[in-house]
């Protein structure tokens, strides 16, 4: 899977679109380690989860970003972008896939809805060590210096140690300087939805979703609390959704 050259080849993706400030920040960090190629959606694709495009064709367009990075903008989702990069757009296989830096938290249940995490998960499915990276600050002008430093440390860690098959790393960090990185697990949390109803010019109702994240547990080792303490949180996640705790207890049951 690795390249014959010594310098690693890193694929950079995101879900905020190829022109978001966060993806450029991540490409800058990745370029400290090796060659970078950006392949990402051509527009904002946050919260599309692991969606793929099956009913319309996908197109890609090449861009030079800041006269520094070569990028390809894809008319699809984050997962589409990584799949298309792997199968058609890259002329060699990446040593690492990084997704982000997302503008907004992907801790707790956000992991499930996140396009940023799904781009990294797709990298894992395709057999590449993959990292999703998010800043808890939704402001696109937020200070990403600490997230960049956390990204640098985690990229170095993965390039040196590798990553077990089937496992993706999910890194979240606050804006501002880095206080440190702590291993954490996904917080048990959910959204309490608050739909705001309005009426369109044809008198038909429509709704804006505006959920509030509710924490269903407490403890120092959960990602949301690690972030509240001001640290970056690093969580190993997996796409195998089997509930092993149930399966092990029911395998002898008659059906
Ligand atoms: Mn996003």
pLDDT digits over 125-152, tens only? 999 999 999 999 999 999 999 999 999 9
Average pLDDT (207-224) is 94
**What's the 251 CA to ligand 1 centre distance in angstroms?**
40
The helix (run of H) or strand (run of E) holding residue 95 is none
Give residue 1's pLDDT band: very low, low, confident or very high (50, 70, 90). very low
pLDDT, residue 5, reads: 58
Q: How many CB atoms lie within 10 A of CB 247?
A: 9
- Per-residue pLDDT, averaged over 217-226, amounts to 96
Expressed in angstroms and rounded, the spacing between residue 234 Cα and the centre of ligand 1 is 18
| pLDDT above 70: percentage of residues in the chain | 98
Structural domains of the chain, with CATH: 9-186+218-240 (3.40.1210.10)
Q: What is the mean pLDDT of residues 222-249?
A: 97
pLDDT at 130 (0 to 100): 98
27-56 pLDDT, tens per residue? 999 999 999 999 999 999 999 999 999 999
254 alpha carbon – ligand 1 mean position (Å): 45
The CB density around residue 132, as the number of other CB atoms within 10 Å, is 33
**Rounded mean pLDDT, 226-234:** 98
Distance (Å) from CA 250 to ligand 1 centroid: 39
Q: Where do runs of H (alpha helix) occur along 126-235? A: 145-161, 223-228
Percent of the chain with pLDDT over 90: 94
3-state secondary structure of 214: strand
How many CB atoms neighbour CB 39 within 10 A?
29
164 CA → ligand 1 middle, Å:
26
Per-residue pLDDT reduced to its tens digit, 150-191: 999 999 999 999 999 999 999 999 999 999 999 999 999 999
Residue 93 Cα to ligand 1 midpoint, Å, equals 25
2 pLDDT more than 90: no
- Is 80's pLDDT higher than 80? yes
C-alpha triplet 216, 211, 214: angle, nearest 5°? 10
Does residue 97 carry a pLDDT above 90?
yes
Section 241-255 average pLDDT: 94
Q: How far is the CA of 16 from the centre of ligand 1 (A)?
A: 4
Share the mean pLDDT of the chain: 96
pLDDT at 194: 86
DSSP state at residue 5: S
246 alpha carbon to ligand 1 midpoint, in Å?
Answer: 33
The predicted model scores a pTM of: 0.95
Return the structure tokens found at 81: 């972008």
Residue-wise pLDDT tens digits, 199-209:
999 999 999 99
How far, in Å, is the centroid of ligand 1 from the Cα of 100?
A: 8
Ligand 1 geometric centre to CA of 48 (Å): 9
Q: How far apart are the CA of 118 and the centre of ligand 1, in A?
A: 11
Max Cα–Cα distance, the chain, nearest Å: 64
Strand partners, 208: 196
């Amino acid at each position: 899977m690795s390249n014959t050259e010594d310098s690693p080849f890193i694929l950079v993706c995101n879900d905020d679109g190829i022109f978001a400030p966060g993806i450029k920040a991540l490409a800058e960090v990745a370029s400290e380690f090796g060659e970078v190629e950006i392949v990402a959606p051509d527009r904002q694709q946050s919260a599309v989860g692991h969606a793929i495009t099956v009913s319309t064709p996908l197109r890609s367009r090449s861009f030079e970003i800041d006269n520094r990075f070569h990028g390809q903008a894809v008319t699809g989702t984050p997962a589409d972008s990584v799949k298309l990069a792997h199968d058609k757009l890259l002329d060699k296989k990446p040593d690492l896939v990084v997704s982000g830096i997302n503008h907004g938290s992907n801790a707790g249940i956000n992991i499930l809805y996140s396009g940023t995490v799904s781009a990294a998960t797709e990298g894992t499915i395709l057999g590449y060590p993959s990292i999703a990276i998010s800043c808890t600050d939704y402001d696109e002008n937020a200070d990403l210096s600490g997230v960049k430093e956390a990204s640098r440390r985690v990229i170095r860690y993965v390039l040196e140690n590798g990553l077990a098959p089937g496992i993706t790393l999910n890194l979240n960090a606050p804006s501002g300087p880095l206080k440190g990185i702590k291993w954490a697990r996904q917080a048990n949390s959910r959204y309490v939805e608050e739909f705001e109803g309005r009426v369109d010019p044809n008198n038909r109702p429509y709704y804006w979703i505006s959920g509030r994240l509710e924490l269903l547990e407490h403890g120092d080792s959960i990602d949301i609390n690690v972030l509240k303490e001001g640290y970056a949180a690093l969580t190993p996640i997996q796409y195998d959704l089997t509930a092993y705790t149930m399966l092990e207890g029911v395998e002898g049951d008659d059906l």
